[in-house]
Structure 1
Amino acid sequence: MADHQPATAPPTATYGAVLGSRHVGRLLAGTLTGRLPNSMVPVGLVLWITGGGGSLAFAGMLAALYGLASGLSQPVKGRLMDRHGQTRVSAPAVLLNAGCLASLPLIGAGGQPTVVTAVVGVAGLFTPPLEAGLRALWPTVLPDVGRRRVVQALDTGSQGLLYIVGPLLASWLATAHGPDTALTTTAALGLMGTAVVLTSAPSQTWRPPAAGGAAGSGRLMSTGLIQLFTALAGTGFAFGAMNVWAAGMAGTHGLAMFSGVLPAAFSTGSLLGSLIYARRARPGTPATQLITTSALFLLGWMPLLTQPDPRTAIVFTAIPGLFFTLIITNGFHTVDVLAPPSRTTEAYAWLILSVGTGQAAGTALAAALATRLYVLAALPAAGAATALTILTLARRNLASTSPRGRHRRPRHHRKHQVNLPSHESDTYAPVVGRPGHQTVRNGSPAGTSAAAKQAWLATARGQQEQRAARARADWFGMAPQEGTRAEAAPQWRTP
């Protein structure tokens, strides 16, 4: 067995070190700028339609259509990105999106409703998939696991600011310069931010891992991923219901600003949670952390059931926000474990869609129960409880999907091995279990000497220990050893 090399010290994972890493600041700033239209367009559309004499109902329908079209198209765009790269997907998407938004002032708020609806729908369908694309870039930009988890937490936490800055910016532009200017500026910001990302070296050179063998050609939707996405829809439900509860609190206490202050407190807590999470060690697997943070998220909603006064409500709303970012971040980490390497961007897009769908459902149900403030206060906790229940029941399926037992090479590879000796044409991989508990099956051909078999087993065990060390490093946030994937199983060669 080869001697082990001494472990090197992990790179520093401080905020300064991470943000100072090459390409990190540019990718974060570009993605946040490019995603500002997601929060600006709904407000801008409402102000544009109502300012032109249209009805609030039609304006609300357009805002909902834009968000729905954007969310439902995410998995398709993620799949295309996995196949063709980021530039070929996001570049035409952002051009169509920005073009549609910029054309709305030319059509006019009083234009044909059918035409306006069609343009808004197309704009939503072609929102560039920047969030899923950025998640796919981080392993390339930051190979170190510790630094990558810091930037992923900062990425998720900072996105909450989009829904504070975006509506305020759209409202200010519409008030100061008119709704037409607000829509045009929104289109320009999306185009500029996406261009910053797509012209960066990591985005231009990124390609997904080749889809070869069992890991790459398997279906995306495993049982674990379906359960994960369903649970995260419950998390999104809590967030959507909270927005309506905030509006109910504002109406009850006669404080109109509370409809914006309470969601802002939640987003502030989310950002603080990401900063704390990025600085702390994270023991346990992503699935364990996901269940733990979901339990804390549920507990964070409980104080709202006491119907607090307005000032206390601000503090209470920030508490569950502390854990919202942690749930989403660990959800992405769990996707990394469960999804085929060649389809991670598509899997990220499904996660984003799941949270967004749950948020829409929470908003709709809470709006239907808007007159019952006590029920509104309980809806976020109900969504969080649903998510925790599903995650707890799915714990075994959320673990690593490493193959257990013997697995023959795929049949379509065997036709290339017909001229190989019999002992090379049918190779078996070692059995892989939890790190530290692996077993190695003797894959040497029958009839060989005992010494040769022992030598083969020694080599196999050595490689198995290296894989286990890398797995432990990845789970516990330590510096990974050389390489990020397990090597192929040792094959027998005639001595």
Structure 2
Amino acid sequence: MSFGNVPYRTLLGLPGVTGQAVLGFLAQLTQQVAPVGIVLVVQYASGSLALAGVTAGAFSVGAGMGRPVHGRLMDRRGPGPVLAATALVHTAALVVLAVLAGGDLPSWVMVALAWLAGAGLPPISLSMRIAWGRRMADSGRTAAYSLVYLVQELAFLIGPLVFGLLIAAGTSAPGGAAPETVESSSLALVVVAVAAGLGTLAFARALGAGPVTETRDRGRVFADRRMLVLVSVALLLGGVFGALQVGLPALAAARDAPAATGLLVAALSLGGIAGAAVYGARSWTSSPAVRLVGLMLALGVVVAPLVLIEALPVVWIGLFAGGLALNPAVTTTSLLVDEFAPAAQAEAFGWVSTAIGMGGAVGSGVAGVTGEGHGASAPFLAAAAFALVGAGLALTLRGRG
């Protein structure tokens, strides 16, 4: 079941796919860098962590609002125009924010620019799902969607590392002070934003033109009521992400090892990469709906015991195991979109992405409240609850639409 086996070999053997994967990786560098970069730039410029948090939140809200709109436009006009327009908006908003934040820019303008950067976040993974899914038979779409998340996860891992190296390079001169830190953070954000913008334009050119779906039935995303259920399951899946994002640093801090946060986050990401690679490397006989139930159930069962575990190395193993189910579960939601909303795929993918993002916000909030009241391990119980409720809800997806 190696990465080189069918169906990955078939997918990567299609003309243009390898190049699109590389360009898609470059185009997604800002997805994790932008929120972190916005926090650093705004906090350094204003001295207010609260304003930095609000500004980063505006970016996330904008991204969630933009996805369904991007999808609807892609269903009607194809990926090229949408990718080009969003690349320009996203890059310009980030560059303006990074360059002007240090010069008495009003708070509301910084928030608005961050929202605009989020609303213009190019729909790279959505475009890859559509383009690659169309070129693979039904049995090969698991590999196609798994590769989408592998590329995205690698960008999530490497983007912040590149961003950190750029900041370090800008502040490595002897005698560096706070002004140099401000400038290096802004410059690093500009460099990554421009690189991602250029990557997006090249990616759009590599994909080519044309509508991404054969039909253009406006408003038909939720014609099958199971699509509403799927969005709800995606919301709960996002809740798992959000709860873990709060729970990991809280647990590390409670163990007097805050530096271990990065290792714990890496465990989840590495598990996700391994899970996506293995999940897409074989053909499955069970239906996607049945697999989604099993994956959500496995995720909840793996995460729940972390509430009781004290040793961080054991937590690391548990998180890696959770990642093995987490990314395949996200991949499976894409397979179900193919089944439930074939007439408006791109917009349907957009709604699923928005639901995952909204679920992340809800999960973070729930985890924060439970962690405050019941200890640093409580967010893991919240994450497990989201997964198990999602598994129960996914059971209804096996019925007729």
TM-score, with structure 1 as normaliser: 0.73
Distance 1:376 1:143, change over 3 A: closer
Q: Is residue 176 from structure 1 mapped to residue 169 from structure 2 by the alignment?
A: yes
One-letter identity of the residue aligned with 1:321: G
* Aligned-partner SS, 1:52: helix
| Structure 1 residue 385 displacement after superposition | 1.0
One-letter identity of the residue aligned with 2:318: F
Q: Is residue 209 from structure 1 mapped to residue 211 from structure 2 by the alignment?
A: no
Which residue matches 1:309? 311
Name the CA distance, whole Å, in 2 between partners of 1:300 and 1:250.
Answer: 19
Which residue matches 2:123? 129
Report sequence identity in percent: 25
Name the CA distance, whole Å, in 1 between partners of 2:287 and 2:219.
Answer: 23
Name the CA distance, whole Å, in 1 between partners of 2:303 and 2:39.
Answer: 31
Name the CA distance, whole Å, in 2 between partners of 1:114 and 1:280.
Answer: 50
Query: Which structure has the larger Rg over C-alpha atoms?
Result: 1
Q: Which moved more, 1:53-62 or 1:367-376?
A: 367-376
Higher helix share: 2
| Structure 1 residue 244 displacement after superposition | 1.1
Which residue matches 1:356? 357
* Aligned-partner SS, 1:199: helix
One-letter identity of the residue aligned with 2:321: I
Which residue matches 2:376? 373
Distance 1:283 1:196, change over 3 A: same
Name the CA distance, whole Å, in 2 between partners of 1:25 and 1:199.
Answer: 14
Give the total of aligned pairs: 381
1:27-58 deviation digits (Å, cap 9, x = unpaired): 21222221211100111111112223521111
| Structure 1 residue 387 displacement after superposition | 0.5
Which residue matches 2:94? 101
Name the CA distance, whole Å, in 2 between partners of 1:88 and 1:296.
Answer: 40
| Structure 1 residue 162 displacement after superposition | 2.9
Query: Which of 176, 188, 198 is equivalent to 1:192?
Result: 198
Q: Which moved more, 1:100-109 or 1:329-338?
A: 100-109
Name the CA distance, whole Å, in 2 between partners of 1:87 and 1:107.
Answer: 30
Distance 1:89 1:384, change over 3 A: same
Name the CA distance, whole Å, in 2 between partners of 1:49 and 1:36.
Answer: 20
Distance 1:232 1:210, change over 3 A: closer
| Structure 1 residue 261 displacement after superposition | 1.5
Name the CA distance, whole Å, in 1 between partners of 2:292 and 2:97.
Answer: 42
One-letter identity of the residue aligned with 2:208: S
Which residue matches 1:114? 108
Which residue matches 1:25? 18
* Aligned-partner SS, 2:258: coil
TM-score, with structure 2 as normaliser: 0.89
Which residue matches 1:323? 325
Aligned partners of 1:44 and 1:174 also within 8 Å: no
Aligned partners of 1:42 and 1:66 also within 8 Å: yes
Equivalent residues in 2 for 1:426-441, closer than 5 Å: none
1:94-146 deviation digits (Å, cap 9, x = unpaired): 11111111112332334221222222221211111122121111134x33344
Structure 1, unmatched stretches of 5+, are: 1-11, 402-495
Aligned partners of 2:289 and 2:397 also within 8 Å: no
Name the CA distance, whole Å, in 1 between partners of 2:256 and 2:310.
Answer: 15
* Aligned-partner SS, 1:263: helix
